[in-house]
Copies of this chain bind each other. A is one copy, B any other.
Amino acid sequence: MAYSELLSLMHKISDLRAATAVLGWDQETYMPDGAVDARAEQIATLSTLIHGFNTNDEANRIVEDAQVYKSELPALQQRIIGRFIEDQKRSQKLSPQFIDELARVTSKGQDAWKKSRASSDFSIFQPHLESIVRLKQQEAELTSVGGNLYNALLDEYEPGLTVESLTPIFQQLKDGTTAILKSIDANKSMVSDEILYRHYDGDSQMKVAKQIIQTLGFDSNTGRIDLSTHPFCTSFSNTDVRLTTRVRENDLRSCLFGLIHEAGHGMYEQGVAAELDRTSGAGGASMGIHESQSLFWENTIARSEEFWEWAFPIVKNQFPSQLADVTPRDFYKAINKITPSLNRVESDELTYNLHIILRYEIENDLINGRLAVADIPAAWNDKMSQSLGVVPPNDAEGCLQDVHWSFGGIGYFPSYSLGKLFAAMQWNTMQVAIPNVKALVANGDFAPVLNWLRTNVHGVGRTETPTEISVRVCGKPLAAYDFLQYIGKKAEDVYG
């Protein structure tokens, strides 16, 4: 039977991907420093093998066969085959030489970016970024999906997303955000977040964060938590999901909200149907849907007032002296303080999107040749001034703050905002399906929330596109309205 042949191929590729991911996780958590070069070779070898198995003659023959027998199979298998063929087609368009060059250029690029940021000297990174942009332009041409050249890069993270569809959504988001910012401007001194920056012991922060994500539903039997410089989530199967976090003793947000965010990614991976394991249907539907899950838990749930009815006593129990003078309401307001700032990662729920839109506009201009790499710092500062009203004092705090471009992740940023939009749409739908959901959250009973996500979003893995999921779950494609309504209400609640 020919499908079993395709299944074997998918298993092989999936297991190699898992092994590569383990090598990556180990590199960020436990690998000794001296092993960097050896690890780079190991990852390159596995990546080359994966590309080969995806694109060699045998894969082509297996795909040709699948086109023939596909229609006789159940719908789920047809979906899995569809995803495999799409992945394969994309891989086919890039030669091993191109993959290899991109890997080498971005490997050096990441190193240069670190140095560039450390000394706040854009000129160190500039020639590397020029090579990266040139290669990503080539990639966009090779994998073109029609329309704007940048569409091909967006499509990699968000299947089906185009500049043509995204720009009006982002315009709405920008206008709405500006309107809300104006509406709270008079009251902006009303909220203080000083309490978050007292001294909080690291071990205690980890303890309380672990306790909270386990109650949310992150399963420790099929997952674990480690420390790393930059928090991330990676999975090697739906039974092996790894989260990392970092701890800052003078910032209560970093570990707790970081870990809730990563646990949101992790619970998504743990919730993908077991029958999709080791196939092209496993994993998240897109970066945007993935971010919708992490941001849903981090913001919609864990920055709600109801959540802190339940969670505040837990955190206060761990930090009785630091939080002695703090009420749950103070805490809720502190973690929802809105203020335009220089840093994307540390920005609030509302102004975060302005950081994303700025990057989106710059990427679009870069890929289409309307902006030279050398002119990024000026363009960045100009846009910061216009949209957020603040200007970075140097490039380290400006256009060098994010790692993404250095690893070739151009087209990635919009997913973060799409995640916010979908999280808000999902929340509106969930409140209809589970009318007492806020009371449940206030009571620390998250099982109905997680079960709803499992059933409606997680289970299907990659067998539906982001738009299919959005339409099936929320009855409409992605839009900015629900998010603006949600954040507008919260801004009103916090700022009066």
Contacts and interface: CB of A to CB of B under 8 A. Distances in A.
A55 B14 CA distance: 23
Nearest to A13: B45
Interface in A30-45: 30-35, 37-39, 41-42, 45
Contacts of A35: 222, 236-237, 239-240
Interface residues of A, number: 37
Given A19-B46, A46-B19, A32 B278 contact: no
Given A26-B22, A46-B19, A224-B32, A237 B38 contact: yes
Interface string A258-270: 0000000000000
Contacts of A23: 19, 22
Contact of A236 (B12, B33, B38, B219): B38
B41 A15 contact: yes
Contacts of A45: 11-12, 15-16
Interface in A79-125: none
B222 A41 contact: no
A237 B34 CA distance: 10
Contacts of A222: 32, 34-35
Contacts of A240: 31-32, 34-35, 38-39
Contacts of A219: 34
A226 interface: yes
Contacts of A30: 30, 224, 226
A277 interface: yes
Given A38-B236, A221-B34, A240-B31, A19 B19 contact: yes
A32 B22 CA distance: 13
Contact of A38 (B16, B26, B277): B277
A19 B42 contact: yes
Contacts of A31: 224, 240
A277 B40 CA distance: 14
B18 A42 contact: yes
A220 interface: yes
A228 to B, nearest CB: 13
A288 interface: no
Given A33-B221, A219-B34, A236 B42 contact: yes
A279 to B, nearest CB: 12
A223 interface: yes
A46 to B, nearest CB: 6
A357 to B, nearest CB: 39
Contacts of A42: 15, 18-19, 22, 236-237
11 contacts: A11-B41, A15-B41, A16-B46, A19-B19, A19-B22, A22-B42, A31-B240, A33-B221, A38-B236, A42-B236, A42-B237
Interface of A: 11-12, 15-16, 18-20, 22-23, 26, 30-35, 37-39, 41-42, 45-46, 49, 219-224, 226, 236-237, 239-240, 277-278
Given A12-B49, A38-B236, A39-B236, 12 more contacts: A11-B45, A15-B41, A15-B46, A16-B45, A19-B20, A22-B23, A30-B30, A31-B224, A31-B240, A34-B221, A35-B222, A37-B239
